[in-house]
Structure 1
């Protein structure tokens, strides 16, 4: 098998094979304790809390540079931000995203438990190598340890709980997505304080340490490893034919009414005792006049990744995350150097930013379940980030500390909201069967922002420091301005993402560039010319499309939905 064929198979096959004995064993959390889907939520949060320590990296920037290069010779005991250690964060995020994209299909084929265990191990090893790098004063080894090995471990660990939660909670995709990733924001709430306490309260400025930087990485790495490994034992995929309220892993937004043909798992007595509301795990009858199922509208993985709607969602997500990522990476440095606050205050701001990140990841996806829509909330997120990003330079230049915090907190809130919304949005559009893979690939947008955006951000910052010296309050202004282009572009892209079932699945006309709705009428742009499709013509096209799907339904009936490879 050639490289191209192997890649095609990797992104086409997501069949998860389990023996009857394994399926039976997964009905129990531990011997004597029946498994319930709600057990996944705290396990997911614990894994993500450990992964979210990545967001506290800015607290390591100055201590690592002090440990490797010593104090600023021009100021003796004052820390200096050389803009070097912060690049480790960007590399880690890049490796994170690429690993999630590469191993997403593998995760679907092998299950979340194996993925979480491998990710936990890599993250632990990465922390140990980082500690060694600081000890021997090698920044290159720090890049390998945290940027490379730990970043890869974080990538696979991050998506491991997201995939099963989307499959177990097709009825609460927003809440499940929010809980699956909210812990990532929580990791940066306590991490700044533990880092500072272990290293030394003001080590970067005075050189006085408690345990020092290397031992801090060892201790925290070991703690994360124990917690993540224990939580990974809870992760598992749902049994064959599992569905809730007529929705299964294939159901896309708008196709709920087509029902399910395959046998559906019902709750055990113990499950019902824990959650009486789940008595709705029953087979949904398919009307005689319409034998189509939700599975007929679920795309294969490679079809989903190549679709126009996925490409638009990719760009939308990239634009939504760019600003928050870059601000979080530098927040402690900005708070100390540009706003003149102490190291303790900077750590507190980093922690508060993590709280905003967490709140956005949980509240906005949950709200999307209530509204039944995800796209409008992405639109609101990008508009809010655009507004407060525009206000941020003036807040720093004029030393308006309250406005600075308001801008940073709101940007962090909606940055987190994007991460919480995207798994549920992907499940709505493509079904949850391949969400581990579609979610993993879309994280490369975040990775691209980290590498390209991070390097540009640091390069522009250094150039502005030289140009504006000795003034430092305006050194980030130019960076904030070019980030406005990303958020503004994202607003436009979001409006173009199709969310209606007909808009997504109705076959395209020859020469059709894109389509949109205008006062409920379908408008196709064909060879650059907008053409309105009448309601009668649209209905006729839709009926013809459904008729063509009927043979596929006949072939699919009787198959076990979760196990059948498409």
Structure 2
């Protein structure tokens, strides 16, 4: 690993530090910054499988019955926690995903400051142990048929791994790429969206491979994934390096004036001060509204397409209830293609919009998200009623690109507002907005859908009201974004406070030659590192495109 990722300066104090200490990860003069994004992707591609957990729900509802669910009609969710004679319901299983999101936000908020002190290597290894350990405990829960073990193991422990792993590369990448903050975070956070694109077809194949007359093959799949992800995440954690304080890319001079210069702070805001500023809470609302709207669509994408268009997806003017078994299979394939296409746009949008924000500025980029989103959500019902399948699909592809783009752009937004010293920890606290949205979005869209059906509204129209409510949420987000102003200088740390913070964070000043001698171009190590993450991404994209091709 030392040869691939560069060596530290032997004359530096880091020589006396432990292997996991932050001092040991400070890059020496020969380090290439393009090795850091693949390390981050190793972790994000692994934890991103959280988005693909729906692949497990159907087989787990038949874990006891194998061919059909062994249901207990009078059993509630909490009755199923310890039952060994009743198969779990899909509702009970999806609580695991809710626990993911809640634990992610809480872990990122609680341990973001710790991560800044200990560095990304130690944090990445903790994330690997929690995420893979959560999968292993989940496998035990499935084998024993104890839902509470699945919830606590995979949902809570795995969710803690999600939170720590998600924020582990943020401040590191921003410091390595001061010239391209949005692009840098977009590269890593793109991996979180791509994790399910790789993990879902892989898990589906393993479930089928391990399935027997006595097992649906899920607990075995959990264990294999736990090992795979532990290896990848450990490699990523060991590959992390942090730049010395004051490092900058060779030949790069911070521009004296940018189009969005007024929105980029020249000071540093402490973690414990940042959350007391109006800017923090305005950006919190901006992220929450953007994520609520997007995650609501993700939660019902497949049934929404089927219910809105019914037999028209097959060229038949009939509803879903009138379709034959073979036609329903064709419908499912088309819906799966729609979900795959949304996944691709979710991933691509993370890199595209975050990179574009380097040119437009974060505030302008989010304004585009909200203005364009309002227009698209408002137009979606009309496209559905008129049978415009292509336009309907295109609308939600663009919407999902902005959903992903919002995640990838917000770390750079925070660094613009509060500086880079505590951006990882500040980002961690901001992710409570994601936890909130992860509960509100799915509950909102499913509750309104059920209420509309109970009121006798045709299934093709049950999502209309939801789309207009989401328009209102995006309008709130737009207003909050417009109210974001530069952080007042009274919140900035003094030079003495910054020096003290860097001392506590075990940061080392850059040698005077480090910025000019650090390579940034092609090398064999860079090629190898990118192949390690690029091959799985290419495979996942190919599998997704094959599914999406059914739409056309």
What's the TM-score, normalizing by structure 1?
0.70
Shift of 1:464: 4.0
The one-character-per-residue Cα deviations of 1:184-206 (angstroms, maximum 9, x if unpaired) are 111122233223222249x9xxx
State how far apart, in whole Å, the 1-side matches of 2:344 and 2:425 are: 28
Change (3 A) 1:138 1:346: farther
5 Å-filtered alignment, 1:120-519, equals 120-200=128-208, 212-244=217-249, 245=252, 254=261, 294=266, 297-335=267-305, 342-371=331-360, 373-396=361-384, 400-468=388-456, 471-499=458-486, 504-505=487-488
The one-character-per-residue Cα deviations of 1:488-534 (angstroms, maximum 9, x if unpaired) are 111111111114xxxx32669xxxxxxxxxxxxxxxxxxxxxxxxxx
| Partners of 1:361 and 1:417 within 8 A in 2 | yes
- Structure with the higher strand share, 1 or 2: 1
Change (3 A) 1:117 1:556: closer
Tell me the residue number matched to 1:265. Answer: none
Shift of 1:452: 3.5
Shift of 1:111: 0.6
Which of the numbers 60, 63, 72 marks the counterpart of 1:64? Answer: 60
Shift of 1:53: 1.2
Change (3 A) 1:397 1:130: farther
Shift of 1:333: 4.3
State how far apart, in whole Å, the 2-side matches of 1:342 and 1:243 are: 53
Which of the numbers 37, 40, 49 marks the counterpart of 2:33? Answer: 37
**Unaligned 5+ runs, structure 1:** 1-16, 75-79, 259-293, 509-548
Shift of 1:394: 4.4
Count of residues in Structure 1 that have an aligned counterpart in Structure 2: 450
2:132 is the alignment partner of 1:114: no
State how far apart, in whole Å, the 2-side matches of 1:209 and 1:343 are: 27
Change (3 A) 1:139 1:26: closer
Change (3 A) 1:48 1:24: closer
State how far apart, in whole Å, the 2-side matches of 1:429 and 1:221 are: 38
State how far apart, in whole Å, the 2-side matches of 1:135 and 1:106 are: 35
What's the TM-score, normalizing by structure 2?
0.72
Structure of greater relative contact order (alpha carbons < 8 Å, 6+ residues apart):
2
State how far apart, in whole Å, the 2-side matches of 1:298 and 1:491 are: 26
Change (3 A) 1:163 1:378: same
The one-character-per-residue Cα deviations of 1:528-565 (angstroms, maximum 9, x if unpaired) are xxxxxxxxxxxxxxxxxxxxx9x955x579x5884367
Shift of 1:28: 6.3
Tell me the residue number matched to 2:540. Answer: none
Aligned with 1:563: secondary structure? Answer: helix
Aligned with 2:246: secondary structure? Answer: coil
| Partners of 2:174 and 2:185 within 8 A in 1 | yes
- Structure with the higher helix share, 1 or 2: 2
Shift of 1:256: 12
Change (3 A) 1:481 1:113: same
2:503 is the alignment partner of 1:563: yes
Aligned with 2:168: secondary structure? Answer: helix
State how far apart, in whole Å, the 1-side matches of 2:236 and 2:475 are: 40
The one-character-per-residue Cα deviations of 1:212-241 (angstroms, maximum 9, x if unpaired) are 222222222221111111111011322233
Shift of 1:104: 0.6
| Partners of 2:293 and 2:441 within 8 A in 1 | no
State how far apart, in whole Å, the 1-side matches of 2:179 and 2:156 are: 37
| TM-align CA RMSD | 3.8
